Amino acid sequence: MINNKTVWITGASSGIGEACAYLFAKEKANLILTATRSDKLQEVQSKCLYMGAQCVIFTYDLSDLENIDKLTDRALAAFGKIDTVFLNAGISQRSKTLDTSFKVDEKIMNINFFAPVKIAKRLMPEMIKNGGGTIAVTSSISGKFGFPLRSAYASSKFALYGFFETVHAEYYDDNIRVVMVCPGRIKTNISYNALEADGHKHAKMDEGQDSGMSTEKAAKKIVRAINKRKPEVLVGGKELIMVYIKRFLPGLSRKLVRKVSAT
């Protein structure tokens, strides 16, 4: 249980982050919520407060790497400590590799990889000082295998696994635990907000995304895994079979990925 613990969630104004915030609120966690949209973030805060949780919000664009340490210090100061951080914020992509501007590659890597890295490196000394902590990180099944129209996105998600599994190994004896959250198709706005080759929003809900698992169902699995400090949780539907095909039949996996619909 998270009761009386402090939980910081990034990407908390919608989708998985919002749904998890409500579950943590029901457990009476002290909540810190971060996202780019202040209006939506305030709505989520109001619901969490109504549920009886303490809740503060910080509107922030994680592509601004320069000031992330200041954001993290504000989050630490809100309740004096952070027991669990859920580094959930991210942005996806809908463009072929050679068509994609390097600025888009860079933005995706900054938001999806470098921002979580900077937050974790700032938080961990305080967590260790307080006896440990849990770092949950949203990767993706695209962090398990390359996927059409997702070159930068998949790269950022692969990188999260490399970095945070290393953190788990290095700081296990300091009671730092990492939970890798690996969603498949969840019904969120991730495809709508995805970046196209020139950096414009995709502004469409992908068919696969639209028929995906509900955020409420996904959040139950994720929060349970975070509470139990499980190393990894796969969340989604039949698309998760691709993770196991990649693991046990890599040749078949490569053939299937070439044929799979990227939307």
- Active site positions, annotated: 153
Give the number of other CB atoms < 10 A from CB of residue 189.
Answer: 12
Q: Are 35 and 10 in contact (CB under 8 A)?
A: yes
Cβ neighbours for 58, distance < 8 A, ≥ 6 positions apart: 32, 33, 34, 71, 74, 75
Question: Residue 141 corresponds to which tokens in the numbers above?
Answer: 């099944």
Q: Three-state SS across 120-151?
A: HHHHHHHHHHCCCEEEEEECCHHHCCCCCCEH
H and E: helices and strands count for the chain: 11, 7
Q: Are 195 and 95 in contact (CB under 8 A)?
A: yes
Task: Tell me the DSSP string of 157-213.
Answer: HHHHHHHHHHHHHHSGGGTEEEEEEEE-SBSSSHHHH-B-TTS-B--S--HHHHTSB
Q: Are 126 and 74 in contact (CB under 8 A)?
A: no
